[in-house]
Structure 1
Amino acid sequence: MSRRSEYAPGVPCWVDLSSTDVGASARFYEEVLGWRAETIDDPAAGGYGMFLHGDRKVAGLVPAMAGQPVSTWDTFVATDDAAALADRVRQAGGTVAMEPTQVFEYGIVTVFRAPDGSFAAGWQAADHPGAELVNEPVSFCWSELVTRDLPAAETFYPAVFGWDPHLLETPLGKYTEWHVGGHAVGGMLEMDPGYPAATPSFWMTYVAVADLDATTAAAERAGARMLVSGMDATPGRFSAFTDPHGATLSIIQLHEIS
């Protein structure tokens, strides 16, 4: 189902771009993906906005915190109790970076760092359940943990979100799918040695596109640095790039829309 109005606990439900230059990021993703950025018209929102595809909210856009060197894409996972989730994070050895916090009438967010060094967030929805369009062009379709510490991540995330890890052998090597209720909701792989030594574990966001080659070319024209260009994988062909302000994103032309 591509149009969504709710998410079960444990399912990634939202992504946002924490940008060092919100205006430039809005222009880049409008040019590459056709998204439209709208800022929340309230000084208390701190410049937070949303990317829309048509009339559907597909991702967030927020000014980076002071001192953040590059832009990042961040993953939010649905929860029915953000406070209980924060407690599980601590019990599993993680660090709560943001205590459960009410975000206007939208819901409650908590942000944490896992023992493998990756950051993620829990989202307890109220008025804003998450992305209103997923799994079809041009919307969020997958979150993938790229980790430097597989054993730590494999222990921590199931304890926090109730995920069931399924190890797969793929043409590109070993890959873990995270399952909730028998359905795959995300993935994990070990960080390739080709990454710079200073790169921490992170969550990669995937956006579905209709024409991978055309979107890859559009990203290059707009100033992206390509990391992977037109590689085949089981669900489809994908590219990965770093946008002009340092955020890494993958785009994929799926074989099937789910």
Structure 2
Amino acid sequence: MLTTDFVTGAPCWLDLGSPNTEGAADFYRDVFGWEFRSAGEEAGGYGFFQVDGKNVAALGPLTEEGASSAWTVYFRTPDADATAKSAEQGGGTVRVAPFDAMEAGRMGCLTDPAGAEFAVWQPAAVQGLEKVTDQGSLCWAELHTGDPTAAKAFYRGLFGWRSEDVKVPGMTYTVLSTAAGEDQQKASFGGVVPLHEPAEKPHWLPYFEVPDVDQVVARTEGNGGSVLMPAADAPDIGRMAWLADPYGAPFAVIKSVTPPVEPAPSAG
């Protein structure tokens, strides 16, 4: 389970790059009830989505030339530079070399060998998100890729992730867990699935816990978003849907069978 006790390899931050930050802030406020707080003039339009005053995600303008609106998942690392070097050695690409994000931490933007974009975070003043797994926050991170076996090997080389293949109707689903934690199931934070359409590009898909998936789907459509996969029940997992905001950024929502609990406080 994802918690705010972020260990190496765990998803620890999430931000949205959008061509219209004001419009995106309005959309997610109406869909999830998130409030947006600017990080200040020096942050170049970057700011934080909050629930009950706690950061659950972030938002900023697109900064990479030719980039499409998308959510970026950040994974915890003790050394962003070393992880970037390992990514290149493993066949990945460094899109943005590691740099200091003021006093908050050090980050780098990477792409895996199949083309899925992600980022790494070496914490300093900011450990990561302040609320996860609870309602209205990140609860799962899922990699959609054309070669799950190669993907597992690449990320295992970066973060030491453990994996377990589970047979589900029509495919094999891989559950990912951090290297730390005696109980592999409790250390799980995400999964790997094969691409569903030939034209689909590899990507990381964030899941947000919600109390009512169908209401969120309706609010998404009512505020200019779209439905990529209609709401459906997954036995013993929950009810989920894949959506996209008005600017094309995909995300998913789920009402888990096991109700979310308040995450453990961060060790930092």
Give the TM-score of the pair, scaled to structure 1.
0.93
Amino acid at match of 1:19: S
Matched length: 253
Match in the other structure for 1:89: 87
Match in the other structure for 1:209: 210
Residue 175 of structure 1: which of 173, 176, 191 is its match?
A: 173
Structure 1 residues 3 and 163: alpha-carbon distance in aligned structure 2, compared to 1, 3 A threshold? closer
Match in the other structure for 1:35: 34
Structure 1 residues 21 and 114: alpha-carbon distance in aligned structure 2, compared to 1, 3 A threshold? same
* Aligned positions of 1:145-164 closer than 5 A: 145-164=143-162
Residue 192 in structure 1 maps to residue 199 in structure 2: no
Shift of 1:14: 1.3
**Quick one: distance in 2 between partners of 1:175 and 1:187?**
7
Match in the other structure for 2:249: 247
Match in the other structure for 1:23: 22
Structure 1 residues 151 and 3: alpha-carbon distance in aligned structure 2, compared to 1, 3 A threshold? closer
**Quick one: distance in 2 between partners of 1:112 and 1:188?**
18
SS in 2 for 1:83: helix
Amino acid at match of 1:36: E
* Farther off after superposition, 222-231 or 147-156: 147-156
Shift of 1:251: 0.6
Amino acid at match of 2:257: H
**Quick one: distance in 1 between partners of 2:64 and 2:159?**
30
**Quick one: distance in 2 between partners of 1:185 and 1:69?**
27
Amino acid at match of 1:213: D
**Quick one: distance in 2 between partners of 1:130 and 1:204?**
18
SS in 2 for 1:8: coil
Amino acid at match of 2:119: A
Structure 1 residues 165 and 86: alpha-carbon distance in aligned structure 2, compared to 1, 3 A threshold? same
* Aligned positions of 1:98-117 closer than 5 A: 98-117=96-115
* Farther off after superposition, 127-136 or 62-71: 62-71
SS in 2 for 1:142: strand
SS in 1 for 2:152: helix
**Quick one: distance in 2 between partners of 1:144 and 1:117?**
14
Q: Deviations over 1:26-85 (max 9, x none)?
A: 000000000011111133x12111100111000010101254353101100011111111
**Quick one: distance in 2 between partners of 1:66 and 1:131?**
23
Q: CA RMSD in A?
A: 1.6
The question of whether the paired residues in 1 share the 8 Å contact of 2:2 and 2:139 is answered with: no
SS in 2 for 1:27: helix
* Farther off after superposition, 24-33 or 226-235: 226-235
SS in 2 for 1:88: helix
Amino acid at match of 2:216: T
* Aligned positions of 1:127-146 closer than 5 A: 127-146=125-144
The question of whether the paired residues in 2 share the 8 Å contact of 1:20 and 1:68 is answered with: no
**Quick one: distance in 2 between partners of 1:171 and 1:55?**
40
| Runs of at least 4 residues off by over 3 Å | 66-70
**Quick one: distance in 2 between partners of 1:142 and 1:207?**
7
**Quick one: distance in 1 between partners of 2:2 and 2:10?**
14
Match in the other structure for 1:12: 11
The question of whether the paired residues in 2 share the 8 Å contact of 1:230 and 1:239 is answered with: yes
Residue 58 in structure 1 maps to residue 60 in structure 2: no
Give the TM-score of the pair, scaled to structure 2.
0.90
Shift of 1:215: 1.4
Shift of 1:154: 1.9
